[in-house]
Structure 1
Amino acid sequence: MKKIMGTELDSLQNAEDNVSKDLNSNTSTNENLDNLNYVRESNNDKECTISEEEYETFPLEKLIEKFQELINKFPIHKIGEPVNIIKEIFLKKYEEEEKDRKEKFILAGGDELNYQPNTILKSRFNSIYNDYKTTLNSFYKDQEKIEQVNLDKRLEIIENLKDLYTQPIESIGTFFRKFKSIKEEWHNAGRISKLKAGDTFKTYFHHLENVHEFIRMNKELEELNYAHNLEQRNAIINRAKELVAEPSIQKALNELQYLHKLWKEQAEPVSEEFRESTWIEFKEITQIIHNRKSELFEKIKLEQESNLKVKLSIIKELETIISTDSNSLTFWNNSAKKIEELRENFFSTGRVPKENSTEIWQQFKKIIQEINHKKNIFYRNLKKVQQENLLKKNELLEIAKANKDIEDWETGLNLFKKIQEDWKKIGHVPRKNSDQIWKDFRENCNYFFERYKQRNIKVNEEWIENLEKKKLLLNELNELNHNSDSENILSKINEFSIKWNSIGKVPRENININSEFNQTVKSIIKKFDIEKNKVDEMFLNIKIEEYKNTNNSKQFDENLKSLKKEIQDLEQEVVQLENNLSFFSNAKTDNPLLKNVLGNINSKKDKIKELRLVYTKLLHTNPEDN
């Protein structure tokens, strides 16, 4: 995994290496002082610990958000490498997405010349990047000024240091006060440019050694210097002892590094009798603190092993999600948030053991790529399906528009019910078309159903009027029933029947009035003992009139088909009953069951004969003559 900025483990290693150099030197002299880190500002900077791999999975919006977060959270000069990586990934993703958007635009029927790139995100990124570069340039210009001020200050300090041994001494006390002040000023003088640092530090330590030589030549000065430096050493040793118990091992190592710097700058030399003993004591304490790194390594190891388990669990959960049926919009809508949560958890979990780092990242990257691949395929296919659905719904919309003024009410009612059912089965269309096409379809359907409703109101009024007519006619028929005059009774019944059938339908809740009429007719026939063949002929003619009583040829044809089917069904029933006679081959003629079957056969044959007569007469009748 490519590292962008330092981590706790890396900082620990750096601190350990710097201290180890001092320990291995087995000396407390000023050798290799040019290589000493002379400022500690970098130890106080916030650290950025985001991996390059994490950036690779971010969408464009997230990359912009992370870029701004880096600028807000970290020193501007500490984010150069992550900014370059974000820029590279952003531009690559932007080009890929634009290429995909353009292909979809053309596939949807768009003209390539009319394609407009989506520049909103790129403009936002460029704006932030330009601000970053401006701020960074300003920072470096300020740093140059600060470094120049620090250089001037250090050169002035060197001149003051030089004066200590080239100018007359006012007093021993004044000499050491100035010497101590010069070393403190040097220690706190701040960073200078790398180009000037080497020569400047060499010059300083050259004159510092000259001061020490000057002190050695003056016994009283030497003793005071030794005493002061010994006091500094003891203070450093005491602080080092406190660091042994410091809970934060990282903090202890960082400060120990600083104490070694102070030892070289402000605690040398000391008298021969204390030189080796103090150095050995400091060295032993340093080794104790240095050995504590194993505790931190063990802690880090346990944390990384725990992180490994968590990340493996996340990968397994992602594999479980993607292994289910992913060919539905519901799945992607429900899973999107969960997948994003798992992805965020993966990156926030922390590092894993180095030997597992590459493998675990490749596993995670692979499953995320698979998820994105499946999602892209699904939405690409979804778009195609939605376009097909849009065509189907447009066809239904055109049918609704073409038939909203239809006058054949029953046909229209069945048609609009059917296209509404078909509409429900089609599925989603592109969101930009969804509301409008539904609005248009609903308006056309509602237009027809409102017409149908108004027509029914009118028809219902006609049916109520028909009911009143039938009530009057039924009253007249009842009067005939109470009349004892039988002259032309059959002709009168026939007239009543024809009038009754010509009136038309009544409201559904009053349909029993037809049964009342039939019962009254039967009562009259029975009362006047009319011959059966005449009655049959009359009812046959009435039946024919019922079938002929229609307003159009289409309905007449439907009646004819219905009558034919009724005849065919009866014929099938007769065939079945005659086949059943084989069960009675040994039965006597007076067997009740046999009698029942024979009676049923004869009854159905009579019915067939009657219906055939009706059918034959209807077949030679033109309904439009009525």
Structure 2
Amino acid sequence: MLDEKQEPTTSEEVNDDQKTEEVKADTKENTTDVDEVKVEEPTPEAEQTDDDSKAEESTNETQQAVDELEENVAEDSEDESATKRHEIPMLDYHSMSMENLVKEFGKLVKNEKIQAIKDHIDQIKTEFNQKYGELIEQKKEEFLADGGNIIDFRYTSTVKTDFNTVYGEYKDKRNAYYQNLEQNLKENLKKRLAIIEELKGLINVEENINDTYKHFKSLQDQWRYAGPIPRAEYNNVWKTYHHHIERFYDFLHLNRDLRDLDFKRNLEEKEHIIAQAEALADENDANTAFRKLQSLHKLWKEEVGPVAKELRDDIWERFSKATKVIHDKRQEYLKNIDAIYEQNLIRKNEIIAKINEVASEKVTSHNIWQKKIKEIESLRESFFNAGKVPLKVNEKTWAAFKEAVRSFNRNKNAFYKDLKKDQQVNLNKKLDLVKTAQANKDSEDFDMTTPLMKKIQSEWKRIGHVPRKHSDKIWKEFKDACNHYFDRLHASKNKASEQEVANLETKKAFLDKMKAIEFSGNKEEDLALVKQHIDEWKGIGRVPFNKKNIEDTFNKALDGIFKKLGLDPTEAELIKYSNKVSALSGSNDSRKIENERNFVRKKITDITGKMHQLENNLQFFANSNSDNPLVKDVHKNIEKHRQELEIWKAKLKHLREI
């Protein structure tokens, strides 16, 4: 590296008429090709005192610190947005579904720099192929189980098509980026080398000094905006450029006013840079200080020219010392952080061992599997919260963790595949019961059919679970058929009486009365008036079975009144529900109340499950800012479900009090 300490100088000024492309290095007789500037190390004295040894050691340490930082500057020069790649959080792709993997893949390709996402894409591709392979195996097993021949097996999936489409876009963008990058770096290198050639020629140009100086400043501006070049060329090209900049000042007989003015301005800028570098010693974050120092070094090299010869060693020494302070601070941080990472590694290995232990246990029941799933979820969360591990074992640790979780999932999936076969048998049994219920729902032989319908309802309860995707559908079909039959049975036993007809007319008139209610504007008084009308409605009595939809009309009227009063939706819902339950209890059919209880319990279970899933999803955003729109949306949905849950719990409590 060529720095201010090691810059080539001559033992004496060059005469005005000297025209040369060779520069004597210090007092050595041999010349050095100016296109490849090499700096010779000073010959050590034959004997050195202890102080000299310490000074040399300190100098070497300082130079090592500078070299390390300058190497990073050279690397980043090739891609000015290199640091961007370290700011994209690595998500838990293993826990994502194939659909979500494709969605995340698309977001990365669309929103992030193509050179910054390689590690993410590799993870996503590995996880997707693993999951898709498992899906293919599952579909193949189902195909063979249905009597298919393996040579006829074919399976296509839209999610695979979507993945291939996004992956194709990624490859096209990646190839285009690297082709353009290579071409741009080469073009920029040509520009910089051409600028150096023009700099070399300035010394031999016979023109007005002011014109030469303007040309020189123009070349400096062109250099600043010439763009990145290959990192392998960066330092050597900069050394050569810097060498010729100094030759222009030191060897050409410039107008001293112009030169001194430039030197003064450059000195002020470099002292300002040094002050900023020295202030970084107070920066708490060692990595942040190191990145800022890199920017200062790049500014020093790219933006600011040389200072007067007698000040160069001193100014560079000050900057080097400030650099070493930050370097040492970072090394100390890295030393300490390594110890922390080692402790994190121990913790993560313990978690992996525990997951393997759980995965190896023999589990034979659904309930125990559910407990084990929750245990693994807890261990996974602990793993993600355990912190970083040493970089050299990061991939190995992550692979061991994923394999442990996969081992658990393989055993779990094997159990549920067998369970799925049993559920298929249960599905066939329940489908037979659905056919029986639908075949007899319109029977007029109530004496013979009623025992049969009760019998198939008992059988339904004894049959185990069926596949979830069929559960709601066949239950609705079975329930509707049974309800249809029993509604007909009860209707036949409870033909409309004269009193029920009279009640119907009274309720119709009551609806008209409700439309004419005048409110005082006092919410409590108005609500009390509405409840009084509800109580009056309940007291009217039953209406004919085929006219029971008048209750729906009444509830719609209540909705309008509650909206007019500005009543809290939860409170309004519970008031209406109380009216509905009263109607059910007045039907003298305990089955309807029990069905309502079962329905409410199922709603509570469904909502609770959705909340748990949303809360688990938040784990994926553990390191995200609370202002993240996705995080806000999850919290919003959780709160919405929580409010629904409170309403359904209140309904269940009301049912239990009957």
- Given the two structures, how large is their TM-score scaled by the length of structure 1? 0.54
Going from structure 1 to structure 2, the CA distance change for 1:431 and 1:60 (only over 3 Å counts) comes to closer
1:23 and 2:59 aligned = no
CA distance in 1, matches of 2:161, 2:333: 45
> Residues 487-506 of structure 1: matches in 2 within 5 Å?
none
> Residues 260-339 of structure 1: matches in 2 within 5 Å?
260-261=297-298, 263=300, 266=304, 268=306, 270-272=308-310, 274-294=311-331, 296-297=333-334, 300=337, 304=341
Going from structure 1 to structure 2, the CA distance change for 1:405 and 1:39 (only over 3 Å counts) comes to closer
Instruction: Tell me the SS of whatever aligns to 1:428.
Output: coil
Going from structure 1 to structure 2, the CA distance change for 1:25 and 1:44 (only over 3 Å counts) comes to closer
Question: How far off is 1:119 after superposition?
Answer: 1.6
1:188 and 2:245 aligned = no
Residue identity in the other structure for 2:140: K
Instruction: Tell me the SS of whatever aligns to 2:86.
Output: coil
Which deviations, in whole Å up to 9, do the C-alpha atoms of 1:16-71 show, x marking residues without a partner? xxx9999337999xx9999787567145534256669x545544233223322332
- 8 Å CA contact retained: 1:147, 1:192: yes
In structure 2, the residue matched to 1:121 is: 159
CA distance in 2, matches of 1:257, 1:434: 62
1:426 and 2:463 aligned = yes
Question: How far off is 1:130 after superposition?
Answer: 2.0
In structure 1, the residue matched to 2:288 is: 251
> Which of the two has higher C-alpha Rg?
1
1:105 counterpart (139, 143, 153): 143
CA distance in 1, matches of 2:203, 2:216: 10
Which deviations, in whole Å up to 9, do the C-alpha atoms of 1:365-403 show, x marking residues without a partner? 354224312331232122111122234335656777899
2:100 counterpart (54, 62, 66): 62
CA distance in 2, matches of 1:96, 1:156: 58
Is there any run of 5+ residues in structure 2 with no aligned partner, and where? 1-57, 496-658
In structure 2, the residue matched to 1:372 is: 409
Which deviations, in whole Å up to 9, do the C-alpha atoms of 1:156-215 show, x marking residues without a partner? 5335423421213523x6655654553353233212457987996686467446535623
Residue identity in the other structure for 1:279: W
> Residues 443-522 of structure 1: matches in 2 within 5 Å?
none
In structure 1, the residue matched to 2:129 is: 91
Residue identity in the other structure for 1:119: S
- 8 Å CA contact retained: 2:437, 2:478: yes
Residue identity in the other structure for 1:65: K
1:47 and 2:86 aligned = yes
CA distance in 2, matches of 1:197, 1:128: 35
Which deviations, in whole Å up to 9, do the C-alpha atoms of 1:486-513 show, x marking residues without a partner? xxxxxxxxxxxxxxxxxxxxxxxxxxxx
CA distance in 1, matches of 2:390, 2:71: 36
- 8 Å CA contact retained: 1:38, 1:187: no
Residue identity in the other structure for 2:142: K
CA distance in 2, matches of 1:451, 1:220: 112
- 8 Å CA contact retained: 2:356, 2:407: no
Question: How far off is 1:226 after superposition?
Answer: 6.0
Going from structure 1 to structure 2, the CA distance change for 1:42 and 1:21 (only over 3 Å counts) comes to farther
Going from structure 1 to structure 2, the CA distance change for 1:409 and 1:79 (only over 3 Å counts) comes to closer
CA distance in 2, matches of 1:110, 1:177: 84
- 8 Å CA contact retained: 1:34, 1:198: no
- 8 Å CA contact retained: 1:229, 1:270: no
- 8 Å CA contact retained: 2:441, 2:485: yes
In structure 2, the residue matched to 1:624 is: none
1:136 and 2:145 aligned = no
- 8 Å CA contact retained: 2:140, 2:153: yes
CA distance in 2, matches of 1:411, 1:438: 24
Question: How far off is 1:355 after superposition?
Answer: 8.6
Instruction: Tell me the SS of whatever aligns to 1:189.
Output: coil
Question: How far off is 1:425 after superposition?
Answer: 0.7
Residue identity in the other structure for 2:195: I
1:158 and 2:179 aligned = no
Question: How far off is 1:435 after superposition?
Answer: 5.5
- 8 Å CA contact retained: 1:150, 1:190: yes
> Residues 191-230 of structure 1: matches in 2 within 5 Å?
191-192=228-229, 204=241, 207-208=244-245, 210-211=247-248, 214-215=251-252, 230=267
Going from structure 1 to structure 2, the CA distance change for 1:209 and 1:66 (only over 3 Å counts) comes to same
Going from structure 1 to structure 2, the CA distance change for 1:359 and 1:149 (only over 3 Å counts) comes to closer
CA distance in 2, matches of 1:26, 1:383: 63
CA distance in 2, matches of 1:391, 1:100: 21
Going from structure 1 to structure 2, the CA distance change for 1:60 and 1:220 (only over 3 Å counts) comes to same
- 8 Å CA contact retained: 1:98, 1:117: yes
CA RMSD of aligned residues (A): 5.4
Residue identity in the other structure for 2:136: E
CA distance in 1, matches of 2:309, 2:407: 72
In structure 2, the residue matched to 1:383 is: 420
Going from structure 1 to structure 2, the CA distance change for 1:305 and 1:212 (only over 3 Å counts) comes to same
- 8 Å CA contact retained: 2:286, 2:333: yes
Question: How far off is 1:345 after superposition?
Answer: 6.7
Instruction: Tell me the SS of whatever aligns to 1:190.
Output: coil
In structure 1, the residue matched to 2:600 is: none
- 8 Å CA contact retained: 2:101, 2:128: yes
Which deviations, in whole Å up to 9, do the C-alpha atoms of 1:219-249 show, x marking residues without a partner? 8888777656555543433232222223432
Question: How far off is 1:347 after superposition?
Answer: 3.9
CA distance in 1, matches of 2:320, 2:442: 104
Residue identity in the other structure for 1:131: E
Instruction: Tell me the SS of whatever aligns to 2:203.
Output: helix
Going from structure 1 to structure 2, the CA distance change for 1:344 and 1:131 (only over 3 Å counts) comes to farther
Is there any run of 5+ residues in structure 1 with no aligned partner, and where? 1-18, 459-626
CA distance in 2, matches of 1:34, 1:335: 50
Instruction: Tell me the SS of whatever aligns to 2:252.
Output: helix
CA distance in 1, matches of 2:433, 2:413: 30
In structure 1, the residue matched to 2:275 is: 238
CA distance in 2, matches of 1:284, 1:76: 38
CA distance in 2, matches of 1:213, 1:115: 81
CA distance in 2, matches of 1:447, 1:264: 87
Q: How many residues align?
A: 435
CA distance in 1, matches of 2:74, 2:328: 25
- 8 Å CA contact retained: 2:453, 2:482: yes
Residue identity in the other structure for 2:288: K
Going from structure 1 to structure 2, the CA distance change for 1:208 and 1:27 (only over 3 Å counts) comes to farther
